[in-house]
């Protein structure tokens, strides 16, 4: 993407009794990763890898948040189970999902279902969208994102 466009502002409930507002995240780079569902294998792998690299994201002046349509209660359990150091946002009404265009028709067990396509977005400290990955493989992805974030600081 050559042109850096900004994303419309949104607010979502987050774990830890917090509320996340995109515009309030300025001043740091931001990784927003969308994933299909708490406690599923790919989503767990991805969350653990973001967790393991989280200190390095912080060193790169970057915050990380995960987003799915699961409830806050489900998110809190998932976060506790894998000691995730970043917040998870609940997007039950698909507000952010639609802004980022991550909802897709998928085939599951021979049926068409609408769900989140695993996707990650990097927004720089000035609020511009700098990179997107869509339909990605969970394993090894967090490292790729970290490498990109580090390149923004050079």
Q: In the chain, where are the structural domains located? A: 11-152
CA distance 17 to 14: 6
Question: Using CA atoms, how far apart are residues 21 and 11, in angstroms rounded to an integer?
Answer: 4
* Distance in Å from the first CA to the final CA of the chain: 19
Around Cβ 47, how many Cβ atoms within 10 Å?
Answer: 25
Return d(Cα 105, Cα 45) in angstroms, integer.
23
Q: How far is CA 135 from its chain centroid?
A: 13
| Among 94, 112, 114, residue whose Cα is nearest residue 12 | 94
- Whether the model pTM is above 0.85: yes
- Whether the per-residue pLDDT at 2 is higher than 60: the answer is no
- Structure confidence at residue 4 (pLDDT): 59
Report the topology of domain 11-152. Answer: Glutaredoxin (3.40.30)
The phi, psi pair for 106, rounded to 5°, reads -125, 155
User: Does 16 have pLDDT greater than 60?
Assistant: yes
Q: State how far the alpha carbon of 117 is from the alpha carbons of 37, 103, 133, in Å.
A: 10, 6, 10
pLDDT tens, residue by residue, 112-129: 989 999 999 999 999 999
| Residue 94 confidence class, pLDDT cut points 50, 70, 90 | very high
Question: Which residue's structure tokens are 């912080």?
Answer: 58
Residue 134: which H helix or E strand, with range? Answer: strand 129-134
Catalytic positions are 43
Q: Cα–Cα distance between 106 and 137 in angstroms, integer? A: 15
pLDDT tier at 75 (50, 70, 90 boundaries)?
A: very high
């Amino acid at each position: 993407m050559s042109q850096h466009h900004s994303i419309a502002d949104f607010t979502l409930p987050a774990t830890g009794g917090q509320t996340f507002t995109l515009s309030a995240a300025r001043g740091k780079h931001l990784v927003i990763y969308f994933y299909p569902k708490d406690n599923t294998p790919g989503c767990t792998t991805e969350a653990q890898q973001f967790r393991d690299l989280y200190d390095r994201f912080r060193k790169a002046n970057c915050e990380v948040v995960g987003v799915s349509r699961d409830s806050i209660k489900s998110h809190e359990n998932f976060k506790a189970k894998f000691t995730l150091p970043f917040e998870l946002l609940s997007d039950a009404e698909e507000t952010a999902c639609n802004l980022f265009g991550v909802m897709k028709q998928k085939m599951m067990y021979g049926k068409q279902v609408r769900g989140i396509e695993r996707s990650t977005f990097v927004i720089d400290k000035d609020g511009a969208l700098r990179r997107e990955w869509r339909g990605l493989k969970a394993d090894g992805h967090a490292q790729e994102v970290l490498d990109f974030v580090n390149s923004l600081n050079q």
